Amino acid sequence: MIFRHYDVIVIGGGHAGCEAAAAAARLGSSVLLITLNLSTIAQMSCNPAMGGIAKGQIIREIDALGGYSGIVTDHTMIQFRMLNRSKGPAMWSPRAQSDRNMFAQKWQQILMSIDNVHIWQDSVTNVITDDKKNVKGVVAAFAGEIYSEQVIITSGTFLNGKIHIGRKSTYGGRLGESNSSGLTESIISLGIDSERLKTGTPVRVDGRSIDFCSLTEQPGDAEPGKFSFINTPLLENQLSCYLVHTNEASHNILREGFEDSPLFAGRIQGSGPRYCPSIEDKIERFSERERHQLFIEPEGRNTNEFYINGFSSSLPLDIQYRALKEVPGFRHARITKPGYAIEYDYFPPTQLKPNLESKLVSGLFFAGQVNGTTGYEEAACQGLMAGINAHRRRMNENSFVLKRSEAYIGVLIDDLITKGTKEPYRMFTSRAEFRILLRQDNADQRLTPLGREIGLVENDRKDRLKRKMEIIEQIKYKLKTISAEPDKINTLLEKAGTAPIQHKTKYGNLLLRPQIGLATLMKQNHELLPDIAESERTILAEAIESSEIEIKYSGYIEKEQDMADKISRLDNLSLGNHIQYNNIHALSNEAREKLNNIKPQTIGHASRISGINPSDIAVLLVHLGR
């Protein structure tokens, strides 16, 4: 036999598959990663960027737990921006423009360096089970039967993928790549439901044919940050992105293609992403708008290709081309790849346990777009959690599940398994009820101890966090004990637009004023600076940011933490799988139906199901008491 028995099999080499394979292998499991094409592992199928609103928080959480997405991004980014700086710190979100080719190459290099990961190019057609109850392995087109008691499905858009450009349709998982057939049917035969979703991508353009003088330049931050909390390289020589708008002339041409649109003609059955619609969908839904934003993003340092973010389309190619030429700066544009829509199979995630394991088939895990999400970040964090839990299942250890108050990852997975989704799910800060607790700056403080506990965080990361916490405590102590004198601080206060002081005042009290920043106070009085080594400058910058936020927003943080603790008590009340909800007649009919379907694990989980009322929760509490 070519293949021995593996502890974990991962199907799919996208962002979810990479994180899943790396996590399970580093924890000690032997892992087989099966992908359709070795050269497209970790491919950025859509825009070459990581992070963004709420997504940036997810990448920092992955990094804090010991995952690789943040590290790969830091090594391959070509621009960095912290979004939403004008808003409160709960909204600050890091975003990086990546070099598409370098990103994939870095991920492949990492996977190849992990001893427990074996990569095999093949197509999986069947899942092997024991009486449809327990996973026993998979069947691959060339390799045949390969055995494992833990299988993770991370097939992205490849399951029965179908590409649409105008009236032309072809089967594929990405443009120029074949899809995966047979696996969906095998999974359905196990009793697991499948549905269809749709997503899309825009044209790519040769940058040499773009008139950048007609566009608005968007440079990166003057002092670029990074995603990983460990010692990854700082970005140098940033590349700019650009902003432009469509116009009525381009809209009119796009409307000419509506009759050939697979979206409007009904040839696309799957629901598309609400928050990232195609350009034709935007024109139809927002007909009152005279223009729409387009972000022109470089694909990398060693290519002329640019990604036209906001111009996703499944219209005929000639319509795409003519409409784009009406946009300022694109009169002489040369398209290198067409925009297209893709339909694919997914498995409604209410069929999963909180650890991303199937409720019907033990040992079968699902992660990424097969769960109905969209975006590299959402996929990567699911892959990380599935990889961790597949390993822990093999070791007969308790599942690793993050609460909504602990991480955006917890919010995402809880939303999926509790509410499900009928359209591609995208993370936003508005989905999290504890945003001030789940900031991007404190992801390491929240999650690195948990990553250490499960065995994924190594000593260097643990030691760095310990040192950061020591510096934070030093800063807080100095702010509490050192006073500012009026004759030395009032000039600075007046210049900042805030009232002068009449008496000595603790620097911590001055920091509560919205006009005053901690870095400014430290420049005014060097006594406030903690004792650090020259090599700890990066840690100091992180500690200053976290200290200032914790002090300025302490009241809000305490209130959110109190609320999180109250809700956590409901999440600690287990329901289990044995309750016969049909026999609890005091429940509403809708409640009985949804509780039977979703089978929530806890009272807290049940309370978040759409259609479950407070009176139903009261009935469940009485039932548990009995």
| pLDDT value for 626 | 59
What is 171-203 written as a DSSP string? E-SBTTB--B-SHHHHHHTTT---EEEEEEEEE
Q: What is the pLDDT of residues 295-321, one digit of tens each?
A: 999 999 999 999 999 999 999 999 999
Which tokens is 601 given? 């694990």
DSSP state of 42: T
| 165-218 per-position pLDDT tens digit | 999 999 999 988 999 999 999 999 999 999 999 999 999 999 999 999 999 999
Between 19-33, 339-353, 529-543, the lowest mean confidence (pLDDT) is in 529-543
Instruction: Choose among 169, 209, 203: nearest CA to 317.
Output: 203
Q: Report the CATH number of the 200-341 domain.
A: 2.40.30.260
- pLDDT over 90 (residue 455): yes
Query: Is 527's pLDDT higher than 80?
Result: yes
Would the pLDDT of 149 be above 80? yes
Residue 333: pLDDT band (50, 70, 90) is: very high
Asked if pLDDT for residue 566 goes beyond 90, the answer is no
pLDDT of 1: 57
Which among 120, 156, 224 has a CA at the least distance from the CA of 16? Answer: 156
| Per-residue buried b or exposed e for 57-91, using 16+ beta carbons within 10 Å of the residue's own CB | bbbbbbbbbbbbbbbbbbbbbbbbbbbbeeeebbb
Per the structure block, which two tokens stand in for 508?
Answer: 């911590």
Residue 598 confidence class, pLDDT cut points 50, 70, 90 = confident
Distance CA 179, CA 172 (A): 4
| pLDDT at residue number 612 | 86
Which range (63-77, 82-96, 115-129, 265-279) has the least confidence?
A: 265-279
CATH topology of domain 459-545: Arc Repressor Mutant, subunit A (1.10.10)
Give the DSSP letter string of 121-172: E--EEEEEEETTTEEEEEEETTTEEEE-S-EEE--TT-BT-EEEETTEEEE-
* Residue bearing tokens 């991370």: 154
CA–CA dist 66, 448 (Å, integer)? 8
Q: Going along 503-564, which residue ranges are E strands?
A: 505-506
pLDDT value, residue 260: 84
* pLDDT number for residue 376: 97
Mean pLDDT of the region 147-159: 97
- Predicted confidence (pLDDT) per residue in 223-251, tens digit: 999 999 999 999 999 999 999 999 999 99
- 266-279 pLDDT, tens digit each: 777 677 777 678 89
C-alpha angle 302-306-260 in degrees, rounded to nearest 5: 145
Q: Decide whether 200-341 matches 459-545 in CATH topology.
A: no
**What pLDDT does 568 receive?**
85
Average pLDDT, the chain: 94
Domain boundaries, the chain: 200-341, 459-545, 573-625
CATH 1.10.150.570 fits 573-625, yes or no: yes
Grade residue 338 by pLDDT with cuts at 50, 70 and 90. very high
